[in-house]
Amino acid sequence: MSINDVRGPFGAPVPESEEAAQLRHDELNLFDATAVAVSSVAPAYSLASTLAAVFVIGGIGLASPAALVVSFVPVMFIALSYFHLNRRNPNCGASYSWLSQVVHPSVGWINGWVQVWTSVLFCTTAPLLAGGYTLQFMHSALHLVSAASITNSKDIAIVAALWLMFVTFICIYGIRWTTNAQWVMVIIEYICVLGFSLGGIVKVWISHPVHSMNFSFAWLDPFHIHSFGALASGLALGVFFFWGWDTALNLNEESKDASRIPGRAGLISMWLLLFVFLLNFVAIQMLLGPSGINAHQGGGILFYFGQQLFGPWASYVMVFAVLSSTVATTQTTVLPAARITLSMSRDGVFPKVFSSIHEKFKTPALGTAIVALLSLFGIMLTTFSSSSASVFNNLVLNIGVLVAFYYGITGLGCAWAFRKTIGQGFRANLTMIYLPFIGGVALLFVCYKVISGGGSSSIPDVIVLASSVPALLISMWFTRGKTGFWSQPRVSYDTLDVND
């Protein structure tokens, strides 16, 4: 029996006759992976859904750009940890797989559980936003639906379900189709956001509209945030703004040079996103001023900004940009959830159905469909239950807490994995150990501060985190003795690669 290069979940070679269908390899280049990463973050969606919250929480106000920069720093440190851990183990489970090897299988399993449910819950709310924007665009620009449809929850849910099914179909059909769709949507989104941001700054400099303000470097000073609690809450929202770049790492098995390109795409996307977000924050504050922002806290800041910049027609463009962004981020949130569950299933600690790979499309088709169906159930639940809708709204506002949790654990895991290399090279140790450790501690502290001070609004986050423990015990009960996952030896790295 011949042995090929394919390896099992714990490093043992797999006989060719037993080799299961695999994801399509060597499909994505650096540009593709970066496009997926920046599209996953969806600047237009993030700005439309949470920009007002960043501005008003605890009086952050005009220091919002500072809160964004401060939140960028620890997340960038986590991106470094993803880069280095992926160099050693390019697995589509990403942090789930890494933590299982370098810390403990139960820690990795919990991390994977939290990531999957964060994705499922987000894909419940994002399509609803897309449904609302679709109806708004069809009414305002195309005059195809009545004004009543814009606020009709059932109509919104129907359109949301259609969008979710559409992006799920593309995800199932193939990673190349998915990436091509992301290229189209990311170009639309970034042209609109960057063009409008630059236009807003130029308009203030030239004509100084009413309520507009000149730029001040004080906006970038974190010491202008007067409350530590407000800074923690702003950081949680800031983490949400940057969430999504790690999708590129979950597509590592489908990328060219899997150990390098996905990590580089994550790092590049972080800097691109910081530039885009800062430019838009500054442009909005300059053109609208505090009064304009406070008057449109209900999620209409981006559209009001467009109207003030170019007139009523610009709001249609912004609606279309946010719609494109929301659809894109829904698609790229389904992707990592399906691949994390694929990795967990391959390891024998998640239902076997999730490891099924479509023979023609080379995608985890059944797992992708199940993730989408769970989100579809959430859409129906929020539509027909006002209490459920309130819970989901709180969850989205605080979803940065869940992201901070699994990012933070990954940062600490990276520092632990490379602990034996201390003293072999300061530069490598800085990016492999010290900065990931600082980023991990900072994000877990933000997670603690927001939950402890969030009251009832933090309950959904607590439920997601707490549910991981009984789920872990159930998985261990049914799979112990049937897989080597729970007894796998710990991995640590005591030497540096020549290119680290």
| 320 to 302, 329, 393: CA distances (angstroms) | 12, 14, 23
* pTM of the model as a whole: 0.90
**Window from 88-97, 123-132, 166-175, 332-341 with minimum mean pLDDT:** 123-132
Which option is the CATH number for 25-478: 3.30.1540.10, 3.40.50.720, 3.40.710.10, 1.20.1740.10?
1.20.1740.10
pLDDT at residue 5 in the model: 41
pLDDT at residue 499 in the model: 53
The answer on pLDDT for 337 being more than 60 is yes
User: What is the Cα–Cα distance from 243 to 125, expressed in whole angstroms?
Assistant: 15
Q: Give the confidence band of 64 by pLDDT, cuts at 50, 70, 90.
A: confident
Task: Give strand pairing partners of 13.
Answer: 7
Task: Show the tokens assigned to 244.
Answer: 């999504």
The answer on pLDDT for 56 being more than 70 is no
Placement of tokens 């990931």 in the chain: 436
Strands 3-7 and 13-15: antiparallel
Which is more confident, 268 or 293?
A: 268
The answer on pLDDT for 439 being more than 90 is yes
Residue 89 CB-density burial (10 A; 0-12 exposed, 13-18 middle, 19+ buried): middle
pLDDT at residue 3 in the model: 32
Whether residue 416 contacts residue 488, with contact meaning beta carbons closer than 8 Å, is answered with no
Task: Give strand pairing partners of 3.
Answer: 15
pLDDT in tens, 93-138: 999 999 999 999 999 999 999 999 999 988 988 898 889 889 988 8
Q: Give the confidence band of 388 by pLDDT, cuts at 50, 70, 90.
A: low
User: What is the Cα–Cα distance from 169 to 163, expressed in whole angstroms?
Assistant: 10
One-letter amino acid of 402: L
**Assign residue 481 a region: left if phi > 0, alpha if psi is -120 to 50, beta otherwise?**
left
User: What is the Cα–Cα distance from 156 to 335, expressed in whole angstroms?
Assistant: 23
The answer on pLDDT for 381 being more than 50 is yes
pLDDT at residue 16 in the model: 41
Domain boundaries, the chain: 25-478
Task: Show the tokens assigned to 183.
Answer: 């290229």
pLDDT at residue 393 in the model: 66
What is the number of other CB atoms lying within 10 angstroms of the CB of residue 467?
14
Most confident of 211-215, 383-387, 408-412: 408-412
- The mean pLDDT of 406-420, rounded to a whole number, is 96
What is the number of other CB atoms lying within 10 angstroms of the CB of residue 18?
9
pLDDT at residue 48 in the model: 75
User: What is the Cα–Cα distance from 100 to 86, expressed in whole angstroms?
Assistant: 13
Whether residue 397 contacts residue 126, with contact meaning beta carbons closer than 8 Å, is answered with no
| 285 to 16, 204, 405, 500: CA distances (angstroms) | 60, 10, 30, 41
The answer on pLDDT for 395 being more than 70 is no
pLDDT in tens, 15-26: 443 345 688 899
- The mean pLDDT of 291-298, rounded to a whole number, is 70
Secondary structure in 3-state letters for the chain = CCEEEEECCCCCEEEHHHCCCCCCCCCECHHHHHHHHHHHHCHHHHHHHHHHHHHHHHHCHHHHHHHHHHHHHHHHHHHHHHHHHHHHCCCCCCHHHHHHHHCCHHHHHHHHHHHHHHHHHHHHHHHHHHHHHHHHHHHHCCCCCCHHHHHCHHHHHHHHHHHHHHHHHHHHHCHHHHHHHHHHHHHHHHHHHHHHHHHHHHHHHHHCCCCCCCCCHHHHCHHHCCCHHHHHHHHHHHHHHHCCCCHHHHCHHHECCCCCHHHHHHHHHHHHHHHHHHHHHHHHHHHHHHHHHHCCCCCCHHHHHHHHHHCHHHHHHHHHHHHHHHHHHHHHHHHHHHHHHHHHHHCCCCCHHHHCCCCCCCCCHHHHHHHHHHHHHHHHHHHHCHHHHHHHHHHHHCHHHHHHHHHHHHHHHHHHHCHHHCCCCHHHHHHHHHHHHHHHHHHHHHHHHHHHHHHHHHHHHHHHHHHHHHHHHHHHHHHECCECHHHCCCCCCCCCCCCC
Which is more confident, 313 or 345?
A: 345
**Percent of the chain residues past pLDDT 70, beyond the cut:** 87
Closest CA to 408 of 460, 377, 449: 449
